């Protein structure tokens, strides 16, 4: 049978880009389909006030790199575009602790720590992970908090995927023996999460995807895959469908009339991130891929994050200077704390912020907010009328190992969340509150959270994971240890939805390493 491609990869984030390069190197004809656009450094917005360039909302023709999806139990932040989440992530690449390899649905199926070690090393090499050499005001604030707790030794600079050459000086590719693109040195402008305008951030289009395209892979941008079905409904001798390959349908991401197109491939790699992959597969399970495991959409985890903005009164400080996340501190064995920054001028988040409030009911929290305004009107006004919100604010990202899970289900128009095992992700974590108080004291600041968190108690997460987890069989997972979808031949999941336990730290390095491991199991083309 002749196919348009050997493999079609849906999504160009961490999992998709690793898959594109490794399959191309193995001799396969590869197509990557990405619903977002392609970006050159100068195209990124200067600040996040430029919503058309920063935000992803196709109905309003906002073509940006950042997407926000609010559900009942969690608000999910994610990335869109050629390079996926790497375009707007904060470049931080920590490795998870031991617990990650020994918990969740994949535990016991392999000695994951040992098996993944070389793939972590390769992922770090490819992403150019290196210690952040520039610590600035918000990093110093975290260092002081660590010292006050008597734990200075645990504070450290982050490892980040950024090129630290001479600031803004262009040089030949420093990473891949000249095979990669020319790069420029970081100037610590802090704008990594609105897209690096200086060609210093090691986004996927500058490493994995760049080399894949150079090797012959094709990338189709601004096309969304809406359907996957086996070409032939018959099952093979092993009882698996998809033996004759797959037909995908995609449509334009923009335009009044969205053109549709179909293509065939012998194999499919789902790499649309949790929201993209789980949504597409849940839609397909109803009709074309009905043998998918009933675990699909379950075992969704966050890093149990708490995101709090501390707005400082110290005018002499500039918390916007540095890379987006410059340092990390574990206040206890289950938790990590990182100070996050936006570049000078980016102040969109203040529109969605209100003072941090905790309480058991919505009414109780609203009353507390009203009381807080009566008691401290100037704290509110100073926040909303801040001259340069990014310069005056330290955003604290607190993450924990706790293992509670949610489910994602098909809703009326989009996915919806449902409670599953353990407590729902909570906006209130006592240790996080303690760290916030310590930081407020250090920088003479006041804490603010998103309005959805303050009123509805719904926390935001930038680290949504799971939904297509690894299991022993289809009763415990959606994919096997090699990321093959149970019940289907040549159908793989390689993205955050395959993460099968809570890493407790930023997950992009782990998604990259797991995808490396999965791709290492696919043989070279005969
Ligand atoms: C503000 C922010 C900061 C972050 N900072 C960090 C950090 O410092 N370190 C870290 O480790 N992690 C960070 N993360 C998390 C990290 O970005 C994600 O975990 C990671 O990008 C997920 O990788 P992935 O391979 O699952 O998919 P993604 O990177 O999300 O890529 C999926 C891609 O698929 C595309 N897609 C989806 N559905 C379709 C479809 N049907 N058809 C075509 N294309 C489709 C999407 O547009 C997207 O480009 C951050 C996240 C946010 C929101
Ligand atoms: S700090 Fe600025 S120059 Fe450095 S990687 Fe981030 S956006 Fe690019």
Helix (H, G, I), strand (E, B) or coil at 69: strand
Q: Is 300 in the pocket of ligand 2 (CB under 6 A)?
A: no
**Domains held by the chain: number:** 1
Residue 402: is its pLDDT beyond 80? no
Tell which atom from ligand 1 comes closest to the C-alpha of 78.
53
Strand partners, 354: 449
Atom of ligand 1 nearest to the CA of 33: 43
pLDDT digits (tens, 9 = 90+) for 353-367: 999 988 778 898 899
Check whether 413 has a pLDDT greater than 90: no
Q: Please indicate whether residue 19, judged by its CB atom, sits closer than 6 Å to ligand 1.
A: no
Q: Is residue 463 among the annotated active site residues? A: yes
Q: How confident is the model at residue 343 (pLDDT cuts 50, 70, 90)?
A: very high
Mean pLDDT to the nearest integer, 432-436: 92
Minimum-distance ligand 2 atom for the alpha carbon of 194? 7
Nearby residues of 75 by Cβ (< 8 Å), 6 or more positions away = 68, 69, 450, 452, 453, 458, 459, 460, 461
Q: From the alpha carbon of 82, which atom of ligand 1 is closest?
A: 49
Closest listed ligand to the CA of 281: 1
Is 117 inside a domain boundary? yes
For ligand 1, whether the C-beta of 496 sits within 6 Å is yes
Cα 459 from chain centre: 16
Nearest by Cα to 197 from 88, 62, 124? 88
Residue 401: inside a domain, yes or no? no
pLDDT of 157: 98
Question: From the centroid of its chain, how far is CA 300?
Answer: 14
* Gap from CA of 91 to ligand 2 centroid (Å): 9
CATH number at residue 294: 3.50.50.60
C-beta of residue 494 within 8 angstroms of C-beta of residue 488: no
297 lines ligand 2 (CB under 6 A): no
Question: Residue 257 domain-assigned?
Answer: yes
Query: Is residue 234 in some structural domain?
Result: yes
For residues 148-167, average pLDDT: 97
Residue nearest to atom 2 of ligand 2 (CA): 189
CA-based torsion, 376, 380, 382, 388: positive or negative: positive
Q: Looking at the predicted structure, is the pLDDT value of residue 427 above 70?
A: no
Closest CA to ligand 1's atom 35: 11
Q: What percent of the chain has pLDDT over 70?
A: 99
**Facing residues of 327 across strands?**
157
Compute the average pLDDT of residues 516-521. 98
Q: Who has greater pLDDT, 427 or 156? A: 156
Is 70 exceeded by the pLDDT of residue 191?
yes
Assigned domain for 15 exists: yes
> Atom 27 (ligand 1): residue with closest C-alpha?
273
SS3 at position 313? coil
Measured in angstroms, how far is the CA atom of residue 513 from the centroid of ligand 1? 15
Domain that holds residue 24: 1-39+81-128+202-303+463-526
pLDDT tops 80 at residue 31: yes
Are the beta carbons of 498 and 84 closer than 8 angstroms? no
Q: Which ligand is nearest to the CA of 168?
A: 2
Report, as an integer, the average pLDDT of 209-231. 98
Q: What is the pLDDT of residues 259-304, one digit of tens each?
A: 999 999 999 999 999 999 999 999 999 999 999 999 999 999 988 8
pLDDT score recorded for residue 294: 96
Considering the domain boundaries, does residue 498 fall inside one? yes
Structural domain includes residue 171: no
pLDDT score at 297 = 96
CA angle (320 as vertex; 145, 378 as ends), nearest 5 = 75
Q: What's the pLDDT at 400?
A: 84
Over range 111-139, report the average pLDDT.
98
Model confidence at 391: pLDDT above 80: yes
Compute the C-alpha angle 442/444/447, nearest 5°. Answer: 95
Among residues 73, 311, 401, 463, the one annotated as catalytic is 463
221 alpha carbon, closest ligand: 1
- Per DSSP, the three-state class of 5 is strand
The angle subtended at Cα 410 by Cα 402 and Cα 32, nearest 5°, is 85
Q: Of the residues 276, 323, 468, which should be mutated to test ligand 1's pocket, given the most ligand atoms within 8 Å of the CB? A: 276
- Residue 211 within a domain: yes
Report CA(193)–ligand 1 centroid distance (Å). 12
**Section 500-507 average pLDDT:** 92
């Amino acid at each position: 049978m002749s196919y348009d491609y050997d493999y079609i990869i849906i999504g160009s984030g961490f999992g998709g880009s690793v898959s594109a390069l490794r399959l191309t190197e193995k001799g396969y004809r590869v197509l990557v389909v990405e619903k977002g656009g392609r970006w050159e450094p100068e195209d990124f917005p200067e600040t996040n006030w430029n919503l058309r360039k920063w935000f992803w909302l196709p109905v309003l023709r906002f073509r940006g790199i950042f997407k926000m999806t609010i559900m009942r139990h969690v608000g999910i932040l994610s990335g869109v575009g050629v390079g996926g989440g790497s375009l707007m992530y904060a470049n931080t690449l920590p490795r998870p602790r031991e617990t990650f390899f020994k918990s969740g649905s994949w535990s016991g199926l392999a000695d994951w720590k040992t098996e993944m070690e070389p793939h972590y090393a390769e992922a770090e090499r490819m992403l150019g992970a290196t210690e952040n050499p520039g610590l600035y005001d918000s990093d110093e604030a975290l260092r002081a908090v660590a010292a006050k707790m008597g734990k200075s030794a645990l504070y450290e600079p982050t490892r980040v995927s950024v090129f630290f050459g001479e600031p803004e000086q262009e040089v030949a590719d420093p990473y891949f023996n000249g095979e990669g693109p020319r790069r420029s040195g970081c100037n610590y402008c802090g704008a990594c999460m609105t897209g690096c305008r200086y060609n210093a951030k090691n986004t996927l289009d500058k490493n994995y995807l760049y080399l894949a395209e150079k090797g012959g892979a094709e990338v189709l941008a601004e096309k969304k895959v809406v359907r996957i079905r086996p070409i032939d409904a018959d099952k093979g001798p092993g009882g698996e469908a998809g033996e004759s390959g797959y037909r995908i349908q995609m449509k334009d991401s923009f335009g009044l009339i969205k053109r549709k197109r179909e293509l065939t491939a012998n194999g499919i790699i789902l790499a649309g991130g949790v929201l993209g992959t789980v949504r597409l597969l849940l839609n397909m399970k109803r009709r074309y891929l009905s043998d998918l495991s009933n675990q699909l959409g379950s075992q969704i985890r966050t890093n149990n994050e708490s995101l709090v903005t501390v707005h400082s009164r110290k005018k002499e400080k500039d918390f916007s200077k540095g890379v987006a996340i410059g340092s990390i501190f574990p206040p206890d064995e289950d938790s990590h704390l990182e100070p996050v920054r936006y570049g000078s001028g980016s102040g969109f988040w203040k529109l969605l912020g209100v003072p941090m409030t905790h309480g058991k009911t919505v009414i109780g929290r609203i009353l507390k907010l009203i009381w807080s305004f009566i008691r401290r009107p100037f704290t509110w006004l100073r926040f909303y009328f801040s001259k340069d919100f990014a310069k005056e604010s330290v955003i604290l990202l607190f993450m924990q190992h706790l293992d509670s899970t949610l489910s994602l289900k098909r809703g009326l128009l989009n996915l919806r969340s449902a409670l599953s095992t353990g407590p729902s992700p909570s906006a209130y974590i006592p240790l996080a509150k303690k760290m916030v108080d310590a930081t407020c004291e250090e920088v003479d600041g006041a804490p603010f959270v998103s309005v959805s968190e303050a009123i509805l108690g719904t926390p935001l997460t930038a680290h949504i994971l799971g939904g297509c987890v690894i299991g022993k069989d289809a009763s415990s997972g959606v994919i096997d240890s090699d990321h093959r979808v149970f019940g289907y031949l040549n159908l793989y999941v390689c993205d955050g939805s395959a993460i099968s336990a809570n890493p407790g730290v930023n997950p992009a390095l782990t998604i990259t390493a797991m995808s490396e491991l999965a791709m290492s199991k696919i043989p070279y083309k005969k």
